[in-house]
Amino acid sequence: MINKSLIFFSCILLFFSVASVAAGAGEEDRHLRLALFPIPSVLPIFVAEENGYFQELGITIETLPVGSAVERDQLMQAGRIDGMINEISGAAIFNREKSQVKIVAIARSPIGTRPIFRILAAPGSGLTTVKDLAGVPIGISKNTVIEYITNRLMAAGGVEAEAIKYKSVPVLPERLQLLLSGQIKAATLPDPLGASAIQAGAVEIVNDTALAGVSASVVSFSTAALTGKTEAVKQFMVGWDRAVSDLNADPAKYKELMLKKIRVPKNVHGSFSIPPYPRKVVPSRQQWDDVMAWMVDKKLLSSPLAYEDSITSDFLAK
């Protein structure tokens, strides 16, 4: 009798242990951690959060604020996050040896008159055209998307490769101040810093609306998350798309949220509006191939990476 009772209670304990583990795994599968740099590209996440979309879809999104792209990438490398908003070249860097992350959507691209990046001249420099910048060091962060975009915009403007010069200024606020003080004659800056520089007297030479497909920020997830938390990532993208639809329909409604969550310089708080966002699209093969060509030329890669190993459309909202 005692043995039967022991067996019975052992079975009960085993059942609840297994159920507990299964429940825990289920909860983990619905939880995603994302590292977010405070730029306009991440705004749909905060809109989806504020409107309750993620909760409605049965997922939990934990956002980790980061102060730099380096910090964000370190978190991904350490396996401490599932996803991030980055750029095509950044995803490729992760995949040099093996596929570690995949791009699942374009977060933001230049649309209409709203750029992501601008090449600017210092106030009073007298520089007004792309060709004026031949031989002039342009403030950038080396080996990043900013250098890539600067290179492509300069080349499209008719400047020969040997005449495109750079000055490494990796910290964005420092680059802005050096430009405005005239210590560097030109710089490439992302909005809203670019818009702030213009408001303070800098002269826009060209921006990335001038060259289709050259610029995009992207939504990327680790391959571990895509295989281990597939449904959560799919639901995240549903919430993302709903938020993008809301933003495009009524951007003014979310202006205060943007000012709260996104780093917008005070001198453009009133004038910098929410940009339009693309929906349900991934980078094209042409975009990927051009980034690969630049990275190989820069010796950031020894050879081009396969498109399919770094980009998937399987997670776009239906």
What is the CB-side half-sphere exposure of residue 4 using CA atoms within 13 A? 1
Show the domains of the chain with their CATH numbers: 30-108+215-307 (3.40.190.10), 115-208 (3.40.190.10)
How far, in Å, CA of 178 to CA of 159, rounded? 24
Pairwise pLDDT comparison (20 vs 258), residue with the higher score:
258
Residue pLDDT, tens place only, 209-255: 999 999 999 999 999 999 999 999 999 999 999 999 999 999 999 99
Instruction: Tell me what pLDDT residue 80 has.
Output: 97
Instruction: Please indicate, yes or no, whether the overall pTM of this predicted structure exceeds 0.85.
Output: yes
CB 127 within 8 A of CB 136: yes
CB 218 within 8 A of CB 316: no
How far, in Å, CA of 122 to CA of 185, rounded? 5
For 34, 38, 155, 202, the CA distances from 46, given in Å and listed in that order, are 12, 11, 37, 31
Q: Is the pLDDT of residue 8 over 80?
A: no
Q: Is the pLDDT of residue 133 over 90?
A: yes
Q: What is the percentage of the chain residues whose pLDDT exceeds 70?
A: 91
Separation of first and last alpha carbons in the chain: 59
Minimum mean pLDDT among 6-10, 116-120, 149-153: which range?
6-10
Pairwise pLDDT comparison (54 vs 5), residue with the higher score:
54
Instruction: Tell me what pLDDT residue 29 has.
Output: 85
CB 59 within 8 A of CB 30: yes
Of residues 160, 109, 110, the one with CA closest to residue 130:
160
Q: Is the pLDDT of residue 182 over 80?
A: yes
